Amino acid sequence: MSATNEIERLIAIMDRLRSPDGCPWDREQTFRSIAPYTIEEAYEVADAIERGDMTDLREELGDLLFQVVFHARMAKERGAFEFVDVAAAISDKMERRHPHVFGEADFRTAEEQTKAWEAQKAEERSANGAASLLDDVPVGLPGLTRAVKLQKRAARVGFDWPSAGPVLSKIKEEIDELMEAAEAGDQDSVEDEFGDLLFVLANLSRHLSVDPEAALRRTNEKFARRFRHIERRLAERGVDINAASLEEMEYLWTEAKQRER
């Protein structure tokens, strides 16, 4: 079947699920109740990409597409918009933001295109009544991702450190302030200072051209891989991990690191 037919089929399935004689669970969902699933599906797409699993990626992209169809169906029920409007809106936006492809503009480098893209986005924000550069940075983004986006917006008007060096100095300052708050036993200040430290670390990642979420996901997987090695090696020895000493586990952790090298 054609792509158009398959999309129409998916929309028809969603319509059936939300119909009076459809699925009770699907009928009672709202934008708010479905939003966490939408976020989860996006992360599962990222996970499949990270693992290089094309079969899983196909499935996860389908799950994410279903989320779009679900939200569009609920919007249609309110008379707000429907799936075709979503598709039209993103098509219009992509054509508008790529005048060098669909129009008469002539950008010779990726840098020129990026500047034009940002200028176009700024015009759109202004047209939508945004009072601040930061107004349309979504609050619901993961904390580190939102921090980087906020910093990028501020950097456009020169509110930024010139290089990674001053950021490293700021990190040391924030660590000192965090330790002072911890020693004082002020939990509210500890949380505040810890947030400041994470924010500056996000800034460092930006200056080093590192995606902080991707870096953390990579480290999470590394930790899980090495900890599983500890569990496996202890099981081979017949040792209950609950009874293992920290020294034993640290030895096996080092062993895992050496094997990876």
pLDDT in tens, 19-40: 999 999 999 999 999 999 999 9
On whether the CB atoms of residues 144 and 180 are closer than 8 A, the answer is no
Instruction: Compute the distance between CA of residue 201 and CA of residue 197 in angstroms, rounded to an integer.
Output: 6
Instruction: Compute the distance between CA of residue 27 and CA of residue 40 in angstroms, rounded to an integer.
Output: 20
DSSP code for 242 = G
At residue 157, does pLDDT exceed 80?
Answer: yes
Task: Give pairs for 49-55: CB < 8 Å, separation 24+.
Answer: 50/214, 50/217, 50/218, 50/221
* Cα–Cα distances in angstroms (integers) from residue 219 to residues 60, 214, 223, in the given order: 23, 9, 6
Both tokens of residue 77? 């029920």
Give one word for 30, left, alpha or beta, with left for phi > 0 and alpha for psi -120 to 50. beta
pTM of the complete model: 0.65
pLDDT band for position 244 (cuts 50, 70, 90): very high
- One-letter amino acid of 52: G
Residues 6+ apart with CB under 8 A from 168: 204
pLDDT band for position 129 (cuts 50, 70, 90): low
pLDDT band for position 132 (cuts 50, 70, 90): confident
Both tokens of residue 178? 């965090």
Instruction: Compute the distance between CA of residue 208 and CA of residue 224 in angstroms, rounded to an integer.
Output: 25
On whether the CB atoms of residues 198 and 220 are closer than 8 A, the answer is no
pLDDT for the residue 98: 84
pLDDT band for position 163 (cuts 50, 70, 90): very high
Both tokens of residue 101? 């492809």
pLDDT for the residue 130: 64
Both tokens of residue 229? 């090695």
Taking residues 217-233, what's their average pLDDT? Answer: 94
* Average predicted confidence (pLDDT) for the chain: 91
Classify burial at 117, counting beta carbons within 10 Å of its beta carbon; exposed 0-12, middle 13-18, buried 19 or more: middle
Better pLDDT: 60 or 217: 60
Both tokens of residue 208? 């080093």
pLDDT band for position 126 (cuts 50, 70, 90): low
Find where tokens 């034009």 sit.
Answer: 116
On whether the CB atoms of residues 178 and 170 are closer than 8 A, the answer is no
Residues 6+ apart with CB under 8 A from 260: 225, 226
On whether the CB atoms of residues 46 and 79 are closer than 8 A, the answer is no
For the chain, give the percent of residues with pLDDT over 90: 74
Instruction: Kindly tell me the sign of the dihedral angle through the C-alpha atoms of 215, 221, 223, 225.
Output: negative
- One-letter amino acid of 54: M
